[in-house]
Amino acid sequence: MKTTLEQIVVEARELFREHGYAGASMQDLAERVGLKKASLYTRFASKEALVAPVLALTLEETFADGSEDSADWLEAYENVLKRIADALTDRARCVGLHLAYGVGDDAPDALKAVRDYFSALRDGLAVILKQKLSAKLANTVATDALVRLEGATLWIVVAQDAQPMQRALKTLIAEARAFKTAK
């Protein structure tokens, strides 16, 4: 069976989630996907080269249903928030945060990919919110939503308790509904 680039990226994402950037190795990835390490390097020149496609896949999955283009901004916003919260709860960690904390100045392409990922995630939420809110407020609300959801993963990891994530999600949705009824 031929190993696809997508399989490599999916497995790289799992390694980054499980072990962080520093703890993930190309050897471990090669073993997971059934390749020799040299063959893996012909597809991705380095571990750093995997970061952008890993985050692009994650972003694509987050906005898979085209939510940012939906006519009903509240439904679209709720769907994306739920998708983010579910992914963070199911995996008990965010690959983006794992990479944000693990990638340093010695991996500038990876660092840029992490920054671009979080900006794109915020911007995707803001596009939805701009249907109801000013651009400035939409960016602020989107940023705060991500901070709250990402922060709730801490409690999932530390206390194996997903309740803070559920409360954060409920609060974010209630706040968005309040925007919908405001003139």
Q: Which residue has the tokens 């997508």?
A: 6
Whose CA is closest to 10, among 46, 43, 42, 56? 56
Is 159 part of any domain?
yes
**Residue 50 pLDDT > 90:** yes
Say which residues have a Cβ less than 8 Å from residue 131's Cβ, sequence separation at least 6.
73
Q: What percent of the chain has pLDDT over 70?
A: 96
Say which residues have a Cβ less than 8 Å from residue 139's Cβ, sequence separation at least 6.
122, 126
**Residue 103 pLDDT > 90:** no
Predicted local distance difference test score (pLDDT) of residue 2: 83
Tell me which residue range forms the domain holding 68. Answer: 54-181
**Alpha-carbon distance 179 to 183, whole Å?**
8
How confident is the model over 117-169, as pLDDT tens digits? Answer: 999 999 999 999 999 999 999 999 999 999 999 989 888 888 889 999 999 99
Is 173 part of any domain?
yes
Is 102 part of any domain?
yes
Say which residues have a Cβ less than 8 Å from residue 7's Cβ, sequence separation at least 6.
33
Is 41 part of any domain?
no
Predicted local distance difference test score (pLDDT) of residue 172: 97
Kindly report the CATH number assigned to the domain that includes residue 86: 1.10.357
Work out how many domains the chain is built from and give that number: 1
Weakest-pLDDT range from 20-24, 26-30, 136-140: 20-24
Is 31 part of any domain?
no
CA dihedral 97, 101, 104, 109 (to 10 degrees): 0
Mean pLDDT of 103-117: 91
Tell me the residue type at 28: D
Is 115 part of any domain?
yes
How confident is the model over 56-82, as pLDDT tens digits? Answer: 999 999 998 766 666 789 999 999 999
pTM: 0.88
How confident is the model over 127-140, as pLDDT tens digits? Answer: 999 999 999 999 99
Is 107 part of any domain?
yes
Tell me the residue type at 52: A
**Contact between residue 97 and residue 150 where contact means Cβ atoms under 8 Å apart:** yes
Is 176 part of any domain?
yes
Predicted local distance difference test score (pLDDT) of residue 39: 93
